[in-house]
Every structure is written in C-alpha cells, then in structure tokens.
Structure 1
Amino acid sequence: MSATAPSDIGLTTVDLVEGWRKVGLDEGMTVIVHASLGSLGRVDGGAATVVDSLRTALGPAGTLVVPAFTWQVADPDPDHSGIPAPDVIARRAAVPLFHRGLETTSMGAIPEAVRMLPESVRSAHPQASVAAVGARAEDITSRQTLGFALGRTSPFARIHDLGGHILLVGVGHDRNSFLHHAESLTPNPRLKVRRFPRELDGERVWVEALDVGNDNGTHFPTIGREFEQQAGIAEVTVGEASCRLIPVKPLISFATQRLGELLAAERAQ
C-alpha cells in the first residue's frame, strides 16, 4: 500500500493526510509519533507541513504527541565520583537547566516543530519530556515523575489509558519509546541512573533518579516485529517512508510479557 506525490514535486499536506488515512489515522485519535522527516522524501514546507497534516488527520478532538527528550541535560562525566576536578566542574556547569522552551535538537525536526507551536504543552521531566497539541494535551503532559520517567506515572501511561496509538514513520521499534514503558512494568527491568541539574531554592544541585536501562537494539526490534506479525499490522508507504500504526494497549500487554521472558532468559545464561 502506498500514498505518494509525483516525483517532481514535494509532498503536500493533502498528500500526507491521504497517506495517514491509509495508515489508519482517524479523527479523535491520540497518537504519539516517532518519525524521520528525511524518510518521507521531499516535503513542501518540511516538518511544519508534516505536523500540519497530522493535526488535520486527527482533527480538533485528536491529540498529537511527540518525544521531546533533552539528552543535553545530563552529567557529562557520569563515572566521575568524589570531589570534581576543575575541568569536570566546568563541563557540568555548562549543562543547561531544563525549561519547557529548551530545544529538542536530538529528536529531529518533527518533534521540534510540535514543541515550537504556540499552543504546544510539554511535560516537565528534565530528560524525557513529551510535547503535545490537541484535545488531551494538558491531560497527557500533566504528570511525570523524575524516577521511571516513562513508567506508571507518566504521559506514556496516560496515552495507554486513553487507548492511544503509536505512529512509526520511517523508523523501527528501536525508536519506539513505549517499549521502555513496557519494560518499566516487568518484574525485573534493566536499570540505570539518570543524573541532571535542577534549581532548588535558588541553588543549582544535581539530582539522581532511577529508571529503566537502555535497550540499544537488543530486544526491542525483536519484540516489535513479533507483535506486528501477531497483530497483523499493515505497513503503508507514505511518500518514501515505511509507516506503521500500532495500538498501545495490545502492544504493552504483549511486550511486557515477552520482554519479561527475554530478560529472564538472558539472566539465566
């Protein structure tokens, strides 16, 4: 299945809306989008056109969510302990404090285009925020704990409870943040420590918070592929991008159990 524009012109909002409809997007949906702008091919107007098309497809009752992660808000010397040397002090002092207007440069053009919308709202986690526009944007972004930022008290849990969907545009499940949410629900998740600066009573301090670890392509691509096969997820080409629309609730049910099995087998070796 494909939805494309003629090769000599770029994709327009109309072209993209037609494509999203074929993927399965409908008015009123809550959707978190993981996307590579370049995968679509030429788009007239770039990321702003893609965002406009997604909002048009979702309609006024729908909600568009994007990861707005800020990896630059992190300890540049995480393995250094004890009293820091002057160069470590300088590097740590250069790390910005999180604020809701901080750029999401590491996440790509589409999340940044959503974040920059005047009506966009954003959750408050220093490293793992999301930005959202639409009917449920305030609801989704209102709560996010510092620890287990994608876990039970997070925008991801709220999107799950709302019966939301994940749209993958030209990317695989190694970019699907909901699989971190699934791991947070397993009995024995892999763990890491997040470390970031905060301002407390006018003083800059460093905060540590426990979270699920990074997958680095170990299990997430396998779980995503297995779920798509089981659920009969159809791949649709929009422009030049391979796209899939994934329902959150059945994915999390499948992924939590399957990831628990894979992690248990890994530890038993």
Structure 2
Amino acid sequence: MTGPRTQGLTQPDLVARWHTIGLRAGMSVIVHSSLSRIGRVEGAAATVIASLRTVLGPTGTLVAPTFTWQVTDPAPSRVGIPDVEVMRRRAAVPTYHPDLPSTGMGAVAESLRCLPGSMRSAHPQASVAAIGARAADIVRRQTLGFAVGPTSPFGRLHDLGGHILLLGVGHDRNTFLHYAETLTPNPRLRIRRFPREFDGERVWVETLDVGNDNGRHFPTVGREFEERAGIEEVMIGDAPCRLIPAQPLVDFATRRLTELLHADHSHDSLDKLRRA
C-alpha cells in the first residue's frame, strides 16, 4: 500500500499504469471512478480522461455513467392528488436535457460529459456519456423502463465485449451488476418516477427498474468473480483499480445473483410462515 503522494501523477504516469492493468487500443470501457481516491493528479479529471483516451486510441470508446438523481420525485411516497407543498417541490424538479449536469457520479464522469464530441444517452435518470469510435452506437438506445437492462447502453457495451474499469471504487458502484440482475428470474424491483415533456406538457412518468442493492450482494458477487477470474488489483496513485471484462462478469453474476435472491426469497417466506 502506497502512502500519500507528494507529487501529482502526470498523463504519462497514468498511461503507463493503464497499460499495466490491461487497457489496450480499441477497447470499449466504462469507468466508475473516484478522483479523490487517486490522490494528486496534475490536471485533475481532464488528465485522467486524456490518459485513458490515449491508451484506447481512435478505435476505442470511453464511457461513464452520468446519472441525474436531481430528476426524481421529491415525495415518492405521496400518491394521489398532491397538496400544495408537494406540488411546489415537484415543480422545482428539472426536466432532463443533454446538458444537465450529472450528480454524484464524480469529477471524471462529469468531465467526460462536457468534452467536445461527447455523446449522451437520453434517460432522465440513468444516462451515460461516451466518446470515441462506438459512442453513437452505445448511447443510441435506452428504454425508460429497466434503464440499465439489455435495451440500454449497458446492454450494448455487453454485446460489444466491453470492459469495466473500477477506479478507486468497489462493486457497489458497478452498474453492470444491476444489468446482471435484470437477467435473473426474480429481480428486486423499484419504481423510477421523473418528469417528462410531451407535446409541450410536463407530466410525471413511472417505470420499473431493478432495485438498489445497498451493499447486500454486489460486493460479494464482485469479489467472488475476481477471485475466480484471477483479476488483479493495480494501484493507480492511492486508488485500487481493476479492469473487468463485462461478458464473463455478467454470466457469473446472473447465476450467482439468481442463487442469492432465491435464498433471500426462501428466507423471507419462512419468516412469514413463522409469524403467521
């Protein structure tokens, strides 16, 4: 484990480390990142992105989640006719547009979104930004329901044999595990609710998607996959970093989550019987 750096990482430093971890020209890579975990980087997020694009080259594609949690119902438990206060709070929620800043996804994701030539998918809450050879293909389609499922940029990245770069974050931030859960027989579900403009009218839309894991299974599934696949952690500055192939991860995670969710369901059913 390295101590705090007194000198910032440069773009050539990062390029050398990306080669060490296995990044190559022509890959399609989605990065989940925490810039603060790396330590000092000369040029901050812009340097991280420039170094990644240098390694991926003109035939590669760099992707990042640019989720917009500000586009959500501030009173999700309120159903039926809202009172004046709920109406006021809902009216203050922005409607999604491609230039709306991402929230909570980190400086690298937001910096990628702002790059000239970057493209962004159109989901009000779960968009991704991409730049490079496959960017238009990856962001082209994203259904409102199951926004991280097969008919999404994550599904397209999976089909293209893409990779996941976890930079200073764990599998609790790995959206591909949500993708895998959409493929299980009985996924945990939640409602997404957001405003949309239709023919000049603002309306609220409800759709289904997989639910939050909240650290219950994803860290375990991710760790088990890394052990079986021989994924090696590389330190980038002070941040642990792993490069993970999406297709093998999804194959493993779909099977493993099916087992774990079935066990949860069986346990919950037994608890209900005991309380009956």
Q: What TM-score, normalized to structure 2?
A: 0.95
Aligned to 1:35: 33
Structure 2: distance between partners of 1:237 and 1:6: 12
**Deviations 1:197-250 (CA, angstroms, capped at 9, x unpaired):** 000111100000011100010000000000000000011011111000000000
**Aligned match of 2:205:** 207
| Alpha-carbon shift at residue 106 of structure 1 (Å) | 1.5
Retained in 1: the 8 A contact 2:4–2:39? Answer: no
Give SS of 2:145's match: coil
Which of 37, 56, 65 is equivalent to 1:67? 65
Task: State the one-letter code of the partner of 2:251.
Answer: S
Question: How far apart are 1:102 and its partner, in Å?
Answer: 0.4
Maintained 8 Å contact 1:5/1:11: no
Question: Which of 176, 179, 182 is residue 181 of structure 1 equivalent to?
Answer: 179
Alignment of 1:68-87 (within 5 A): 68-87=66-85
Contact 2:5/2:237, CA 8 A, preserved across alignment: no
CA 1:261 to 1:6, structure 2 compared with 1: closer, same or farther past 3 Å?
A: closer
Separation in 2 of the partners of 1:151 and 1:190? 13
Report if the CA contact (8 A) 1:5-1:15 is conserved.
Answer: no
Q: How many Å separate the matches in 2 of 1:110 and 1:8?
A: 22
Alignment-derived partner of residue 103 in structure 1:
101
Q: Percent identity?
A: 67
Q: Distance in 2 between matches of 1:262 and 1:104?
A: 32
- State the 4+ residue runs in structure 1 displaced beyond 2 angstroms: 4-8
The one-letter amino acid of 2:225's match is F
C-alpha deviation, 1:57, in angstroms: 1.0
For 1:6 and 1:250, the matched residues in 2 are separated by 34
Aligned counterparts of 2:40 and 2:5: Cα–Cα separation in 1: 9
In structure 1, list runs of 5 or more residues that go unmatched: none
- 1:105 Cα shift? 2.5
> Aligned with 2:104: secondary structure?
helix
Match of 2:231 among 230, 233, 243: 233
* 1:5 Cα offset (Å): 12
Q: What amino acid sits opposite 2:156 in the alignment? A: R
Q: How many residues align?
A: 267
